[in-house]
Amino acid sequence: AFATLMSILSTGRGAFNWLAAPFLWTSLEFLRENAFFLGFPWGSLGNSQYLNLSMIQIADMTGVPGITFAVALVNAAVVHAVFQLVTGRGAASTLKRRLLTPIAVAVLVPLLLHSYGLWRLWQIEARVEDAETVKVAVVQGNIFQDKKWDSDVASDSLEKYEALTFRASTDLPDIVVWAETAVPFYFQQESDEREQILELARRGR
């Protein structure tokens, strides 16, 4: 869809056709993640930058789509600049003028994102230094995935988490965190197991 639409939008001799790429890519990702029955919110282009901490701080305002847009924008600018260099004809002054905008975008966008990100990281670190601490205990029962919903193992799994939680509570944590799929039942439904966990929380404070 992206390639087809981009080829249509790129027909003609518009100097800024390449700017359609980030808008188109980000819009298609949004549709894939939110439209009707699709709902595939993983594998976004913006997720590729997860290790680049200073570059992704802009997500506090734009979310992942903002990072996707930035990555697509910079890549489109680089591709357009290379294309102009390879196929460029005419006077050198005309070529320089065509290269000015894409090169400026390819340099300034990462620079601005990086600068904002470093400022935000510094700001967060300053807050963390002055923040109150919370003592957290993490409980991981290591129950095999294929055994988790086995009715014969379910009660043993819950007892294991219960025992580990009481062991952790001897260190007086402020909060005890269980694994995401620790319980082999639907907690939102009324059940004996749900009451067992609520009682555990009360007893462990």
Q: Give me the pLDDT at residue 12, please.
A: 66
189-203 average pLDDT score: 85
Least confident of 11-20, 75-84, 129-138: 11-20
Specify the pLDDT at position 89: 66
* pLDDT classification of 88: cutoffs 50, 70, 90: confident
CB atoms within 10 A of CB 61: 9
Of 31-45, 103-117, 142-156, 167-181, the poorest mean pLDDT is in 142-156
pTM of the model: 0.69
Query: Which phi and psi angles does 139 have, rounded to 5°?
Result: -110, 125
Least reliable range by pLDDT among 87-91, 116-120, 198-202: 87-91
CA distance readout (Å), 45 to 72, 102, 122, 128:
8, 20, 26, 30
Contact 81, 141 (CB under 8 A): no
Residue 16 has a pLDDT of: 76
Q: What is the SS3 assignment for 177?
A: strand
Residue 90: the pLDDT is: 60
Q: Which sign does the torsion angle of CA 74, 76, 79, 85 carry?
A: negative
When pLDDT is cut at 50, 70 and 90, the band that residue 115 belongs to is very high
| Cα first-last separation, the chain | 54
Identify which of 205, 124, 117, 116 has the alpha carbon closest to the alpha carbon of residue 166. Answer: 205
pLDDT digits (tens, 9 = 90+) for 137-156: 999 888 777 777 777 777 78
Residue 125 has pLDDT above 70, yes or no: yes
Task: Identify any residues that bridge with 176 across adjacent strands, giving them in sequence order.
Answer: 137
Q: Higher confidence at residue 29 or residue 187? A: 29
Region 171-175 average pLDDT: 91
pLDDT in tens, 34-75: 877 777 788 899 999 999 999 999 999 999 999 999 999 999
